[in-house]
A and B are shown apart, each in its own frame.
Chain A
C-alpha cells in the first residue's frame, strides 16, 4: 500500500481524518487556501465530508509572493 503524502511529504493520518481536519492542523486560517486530492480540487463546501484514505496524495496551497 502506498504512503499517504501531504504536500509531497509522507504523513500518517488517523482513520476518518477529513480534508477540513487536515487543513485545520496545517493552516492558521482556511482563508485563501485550496486543496487538491489526487490531482483534483476539493471544493471547500465538501472539505468536512471528504474523508482521506491511505495512499492519498494531498496538496494544500495558498498565495505566495510571485510575479
Chain B
C-alpha cells in the first residue's frame, strides 16, 4: 500500500516537474523558402538618437529557408466561428531552424511556452469571410543571435515568437475548414492560399515602450513560405515509457529490495518536495480569487458585446494578482498608488483571469506579454 502511495507521489511529482504528452498529440513538421524581412531599431540616450545593429545576420538568412516543428494536443472543438486554444508545455513550437542559402543552419531554438492556437471557421461577414489556422508560441531559446548589451534594464526584455499562419478567404465555392478543430492532416493546411512561418525577435532596454527616457530598441520579423508540410501522430515520450518500465521492474523485485527502494523513494520524494517548496517560496506570491455576480448595466451602442450582455445575466470568474509586480509602482496623488506587472517571455507564473458570462465561458486571458496589471 505504501509502495503504491509512494509510486503515486513520485509520478505526481514527475508529472509536475516534467509534463509529458498524451498519445493523441500531433506534430506539424514544415519547411520552406525565405520570403521577407521587417526590422526596426532606435536608441535614445537622453540627448541623442541612434540605432542598434540587427539582431540576426540578415545577409545569411535572406535567401535561405526554415524548418520547424509545432506540437499540439487533440482537443474537442467548440461550436462557433472562432476559438483560441492555449495548451501549455510540452506543446508549441518545439523546434525551429533558420538556414542560409546553402542549407547550413544559422539560427535554431525552441523551448516553447505561452502557446496560442487560433482557429477560425467561416469567420466574418461576406465578402470578408475567411478560414484561418494560426499556431504560435513564445520561444525560450535561440542560438547565435546578436543580443545587444543592456544599459538601462536588468534584465532587458527579449521577446521571441514564432509560428505558422494558414489563411484563406471563403466563398460559396471555396472552404478550407469545416469546424474549429485543429486540422490533423497535411492536405487541409496545404490547401490554404496563404501559408507562412513567422519568426519575431524583439530586444527592449530602458524606457522603450513610452520612449520618453533613455532606451534601446531593435526588432526583426522574418517570414517564410510554407512549401512542404507533414502532420504525424506522436507516440508517448520515452520518459513516460522509461517510467513505466522502472515501475514494472520494481514490482518484480524482492520485498527486501522493495523496502530499500521505498526508503530511497521516500527520501527522494521528500527531497524533491523540499526543493520545489523552497523554489516556490522564493517566487512572488500569487493570490487568486473566484467571484460570482450579476450584470447591472450595459451600454452597447454599436453591438460590440455579444448577445448575453444584458442586465441580470449571471457573471462568474476569477483573477490572480501578485504582490511583487515586476514593473514597480507610481503614485499620481496622495490617494492611490498604481502597480504594474508585465508578463515576461520567460517562464514566470502566469497571472490570468477568466470570466464566465451567461452560459458561455469567456476567457479574457492576456495572451500577449505586454498586458499590464
Q: Do A and B form a real pair?
A: no
Q: Which residues does B use to contact A, with CB under 8 Å?
A: none
Q: Which residues does A use to contact B, with CB under 8 Å?
A: none
